[in-house]
Each structure stands twice: as structure tokens, then as C-alpha cells.
Amino acid sequence: MGGQFDESISVIKAMPFFEYSAIWISLLGACRKWGNVKLGRSAFHQVIQLDEGLGGAYVLMANIFAAAGMQEDAKKVEAMRLKHAAFEELNTTIACAERYHSVCG
């Protein structure tokens, strides 16, 4: 599984628009599904550098930590979400990504 994550990072960084939060949120979702805390943390930091108001990113990262038994880290991420008033839902971000793709595609 690690090779596929490595390949994903290579593909993302080769994209002309890799500084687009929806790409990193998609990777964050995959990290949640497969329990990859290390890469999830990296993807999370990419997302919040681009837009710290995306609440879905915080929820995904908190869930990754919680599933790994890292409750204190999950609580810290939730506190960050509240501090940054990050309440935008993930569905909104994905809808924006679809719109962007159709414009660029």
C-alpha cells in the first residue's frame, strides 16, 4: 500500500495545479480509509496551508488520529478547527473540485 501512496504524492506534485486543496483532501480521505497517519498528517498540513477554513480537513485528520488511538492529537486538531472557525463542509470542497475539473478538463 505504501507504494501507491508514494506514487500518489509523485502524481500530485507533477500536476500543474498541485496547490489545490481538493487534491490534498482527496489524499487525506485515502489516508483515513487506509489508516496512514504519517501521510495524513502531511496532507493535512498542505490543506490548511492552502485554506485553514476547510472544516472537513480537520474532521478527517481528527478521525485518522482517533482511529489510530491518538486521542490527544485528535483533540488538538478539533481545537485548531474551532480556533480557525473552520466550519466549511467537505461536500462543498468536493463540489468546488468537480467544478474546477470540468472547467479545466
Q: What is the structure's pLDDT at 99?
A: 42
Question: Residue 22: pLDDT band by 50, 70, 90 thresholds?
Answer: confident
Q: In the predicted model, what is the mean pLDDT of the chain? A: 78
Give the domain extent around 99: 2-104
Question: Residue 20: pLDDT band by 50, 70, 90 thresholds?
Answer: confident
Number of domains in the chain: 1
CA distances from 39 to 42, 52, 55, 62, 101 (A): 5, 18, 19, 14, 24
Distance between CA atoms of 41 and 32, rounded to whole angstroms? 10
Q: What is the CATH number of the domain that holds 91?
A: 1.25.40.10
Q: What is the structure's pLDDT at 18?
A: 56
Whether 104 has a pLDDT exceeding 70, the answer reads no
